[in-house]
Amino acid sequence: MADDDAMQPRGAGSAPASIHDTPERMLLREQVQRFVAREIEPRAERWEQEGSVPREVLRRLGELGWLGLMAPEAFGGADVDAVTNYVFTEALSQSTYGGFVVTVLVHTDMASPHLVHAGSDEQKRRWLPGILRGEVLTAVAVTEADAGSDVARMRTRARRDGDAFVLDGSKMFITNGVNADLYFVAARTAPLETGARGVSMFCVERGTPGLRVGQVLDKAGWRSSDTAELVFDGCRIPASQLLGVENRGFFALMENFQRERLALAAMAIGNAQSALRLALAHVRQRSAFGGVLWDRQAIRHRLASLHARTEAARSFALHCAWLSAQGRECVREVSELKALCGELANDVAYACQQFHGGMGYIRETAIERLWRDARILAIGGGATEVMLEEAAKRL
């Protein structure tokens, strides 16, 4: 196999690689990969230094129709199924800049679906077209400093006051927190003792009095993704900005968690694919001990093993996406997938960085960035241990 054929992304010009590869999905994958190669990779190092992704990039994604693949056609979406959305997400995630990827996926798969699923017609007409065009950036604000995976313990309050709700509290680790225009905020509308049954969701616009960005967080990875603390101090919003049914917000969050975790699994697989591609190219040309590193059987076998694990995880991910597209219960499968892929991304990135030697530890090299960005994939969106517990309860 020639070097430039190694680990090449599957494109529209290739034969189908699985039963899920329709011509339309193969074309979408090729288009997204071409976009990443031409419009993201040459520019994104500057975004890493600036700590955010430029708005014009998001608007360009909106022009291409990629910010609302699963949104209703009536509002400008494409209304595709979960398998097609997975294909898009995996292809986008082959960018070596995870901060760019998560900026987009929080908007498309973790925040805006709350409006699609639970929003009133008036709320959708007001915000959804701008969201799909990339003009309105979204974030979801759930996590708190002492309530991460245990969502039912959140303490941010929303108190009814006539025709308004008043929010008080804070949220932590909010991706797109600095630059979002619209936040989907989970807050308690019943006493803490009610647990999951006392949480509601709200639409809160940037610039609302009483809402401010607190600490801007300096992360080890995902450097081009802005992450922040949000502070609500007497933040008054119209009652019409309640999203869905009062005290049913926890269940809306649980419903969308499967889509979130599928997106994060796709990110992990894309990260692993990119790391393997870089490592294969490197070991085939790196001189060592009278030959190249590829001549060392231990290295070849290690890469083959990691490649097999990545392909197996990808097949499982497509199966989970298919289950979701069929409307099937798949909490156990998606929880297992998220746990599997988060750890896989770290294993692959670690080994591929190792094979790069000292150069793999130099900032601004793609393999160092992939290694650094992989770490959060076993933590964010449901830590491995939490995911395994969710799966174990359903065995």
The catalytic site residues sit at: 260
CA distance 54 to 49: 12
Query: How far is Cα 320 from Cα 335, in angstroms, rounded to an integer?
Result: 10
Q: Are strands 138-141 and 242-243 parallel, antiparallel or unpaired?
A: unpaired
- The candidate with the shortest Cα–Cα distance to 340, out of 279, 305, 391, 393, is 391
- The one-letter amino acid code at 243 reads L
Q: How far apart are CA 285 and CA 381, in angstroms?
A: 38
Neighbours of 193 (CB within 10 A): 7
Long-range contacts of residues 387-390, Cβ cutoff 8 Å, at least 24 apart: 387/261, 387/335, 387/336, 387/338, 387/339, 387/342, 388/335, 388/336, 388/339, 390/331, 390/332, 390/335
User: For residue 338, what are the CA distances in angstroms to 173, 198, 333?
Assistant: 19, 27, 9
Distance CA 179, CA 200 (A): 23
**What's phi and psi for 186, nearest 5 deg?**
-95, 130
Closest by CA to 368, choosing from 98, 101, 103, is 98
β strands within the chain, DSSP E: 138-141, 157-161, 164-175, 182-188, 199-205, 211-216, 227-238, 242-243, 287-288, 291-292
